Amino acid sequence: KNQVEQSPQSLVILEGKNCTLQCNYTVTSFNNLRWYKQDTGKGPATLIIMTFSENTKSNGRYTATLDANTKQSSLHITASQLSDSASYICVVSALWSPGT
Protein backbone atom coordinates (compact mmCIF):
# COMPACT_ATOMS: atom_id res chain seq x y z
CA LYS A 1 0.00 0.00 0.00
CA ASN A 2 1.42 3.35 -1.06
CA GLN A 3 1.39 5.97 1.66
CA VAL A 4 2.71 9.50 2.12
CA GLU A 5 2.94 11.07 5.57
CA GLN A 6 3.96 14.60 6.49
CA SER A 7 5.16 16.09 9.74
CA PRO A 8 4.64 18.21 11.67
CA GLN A 9 0.90 18.63 11.16
CA SER A 10 1.23 22.33 12.01
CA LEU A 11 4.09 24.64 12.82
CA VAL A 12 4.40 28.09 14.35
CA ILE A 13 7.72 29.90 14.00
CA LEU A 14 9.06 33.41 14.35
CA GLU A 15 9.46 35.53 11.25
CA GLY A 16 13.04 35.33 9.96
CA LYS A 17 13.65 31.86 11.41
CA ASN A 18 14.30 28.72 9.40
CA CYS A 19 12.08 25.66 9.48
CA THR A 20 11.91 22.16 8.04
CA LEU A 21 8.93 20.06 6.96
CA GLN A 22 9.23 16.29 6.58
CA CYS A 23 7.66 13.87 4.12
CA ASN A 24 7.91 10.08 4.44
CA TYR A 25 6.58 7.72 1.79
CA THR A 26 6.30 4.00 1.09
CA VAL A 27 6.21 4.20 -2.71
CA THR A 28 8.99 2.03 -4.16
CA SER A 29 9.05 3.30 -7.75
CA PHE A 30 8.05 6.85 -8.53
CA ASN A 31 8.17 9.42 -11.30
CA ASN A 32 8.73 12.44 -9.11
CA LEU A 33 8.15 14.00 -5.74
CA ARG A 34 6.53 17.43 -5.62
CA TRP A 35 6.21 20.02 -2.91
CA TYR A 36 3.23 22.36 -3.23
CA LYS A 37 2.35 25.51 -1.36
CA GLN A 38 -1.34 26.23 -0.90
CA ASP A 39 -2.34 29.68 0.28
CA THR A 40 -5.70 30.03 2.03
CA GLY A 41 -8.53 30.15 -0.50
CA LYS A 42 -6.27 29.27 -3.44
CA GLY A 43 -5.24 26.16 -5.31
CA PRO A 44 -1.88 24.43 -4.74
CA ALA A 45 1.11 26.02 -6.48
CA THR A 46 4.16 23.92 -7.35
CA LEU A 47 7.26 24.84 -5.36
CA ILE A 48 9.71 22.10 -6.29
CA ILE A 49 9.66 18.95 -8.45
CA MET A 50 12.29 16.29 -7.79
CA THR A 51 13.09 13.11 -9.68
CA PHE A 52 14.28 9.86 -8.10
CA SER A 53 17.95 10.69 -8.80
CA GLU A 54 17.96 14.24 -7.40
CA ASN A 55 19.20 14.86 -3.86
CA THR A 56 18.71 18.61 -3.48
CA LYS A 57 16.76 21.25 -5.36
CA SER A 58 16.13 24.91 -4.56
CA ASN A 59 13.57 27.55 -5.47
CA GLY A 60 14.42 30.86 -3.84
CA ARG A 61 14.23 30.45 -0.06
CA TYR A 62 12.81 26.93 -0.43
CA THR A 63 15.16 23.95 -0.58
CA ALA A 64 14.00 20.34 -0.86
CA THR A 65 16.10 17.28 -0.16
CA LEU A 66 15.33 13.73 -1.19
CA ASP A 67 16.74 10.45 0.10
CA ALA A 68 15.39 7.60 -2.00
CA ASN A 69 17.02 5.02 0.26
CA THR A 70 15.25 6.09 3.43
CA LYS A 71 12.20 7.27 1.44
CA GLN A 72 12.23 10.72 2.99
CA SER A 73 12.05 14.26 1.69
CA SER A 74 12.44 17.52 3.57
CA LEU A 75 11.40 21.04 2.67
CA HIS A 76 13.58 23.72 4.25
CA ILE A 77 12.31 27.30 4.42
CA THR A 78 15.05 29.87 5.01
CA ALA A 79 14.38 33.24 6.65
CA SER A 80 10.62 32.70 6.89
CA GLN A 81 8.28 35.52 5.99
CA LEU A 82 4.65 36.20 6.78
CA SER A 83 3.83 35.22 3.17
CA ASP A 84 5.07 31.69 3.95
CA SER A 85 1.95 31.10 6.08
CA ALA A 86 0.24 28.38 4.05
CA SER A 87 -0.36 24.66 3.75
CA TYR A 88 2.52 22.66 2.29
CA ILE A 89 1.75 19.42 0.48
CA CYS A 90 4.11 16.60 -0.46
CA VAL A 91 2.93 14.50 -3.43
CA VAL A 92 4.65 11.35 -4.72
CA SER A 93 3.73 10.30 -8.27
CA ALA A 94 4.01 6.52 -8.38
CA LEU A 95 4.99 4.61 -11.50
CA TRP A 96 2.06 2.47 -12.57
CA SER A 97 2.66 -1.07 -13.69
CA PRO A 98 0.14 -3.85 -14.44
CA GLY A 99 -0.73 -5.91 -11.41
CA THR A 100 -0.07 -3.21 -8.83
- Tell me the per-residue pLDDT of 34-48, one tens digit each, with 9 for 90 and over: 999 999 999 999 999
Counting the structural domains of the chain, the total is 1
Does position 60 have pLDDT exceeding 50, yes or no? yes
Position 100 scores a pLDDT of 46
pTM for the whole structure: 0.89
Half-sphere exposure at residue 39, Cβ-oriented, CA atoms within 13 angstroms: 6
> Is 10 inside a domain boundary?
no
Q: Is pLDDT at 50 greater than 50 in this prediction?
A: yes
**What are the distances in angstroms from CA 64 to CA 27, 41, 42, 60, 99?**
18, 25, 22, 11, 32
Residue 26 has pLDDT above 80, yes or no: yes
The stretch 43-72 carries a mean pLDDT of 95
Q: Where are the beta strands (DSSP E) in the chain?
A: 4-7, 19-25, 30-38, 45-51, 56-59, 62-67, 72-77, 87-94
Q: Is residue 4 part of a domain?
A: no
Check which CATH number belongs to the domain holding 27 and give it: 2.60.40.10
Which range of residues forms the domain containing residue 34? 16-93
Residues 22, 3: Cα–Cα separation, whole Å? 14
| Domain contains 70 | yes
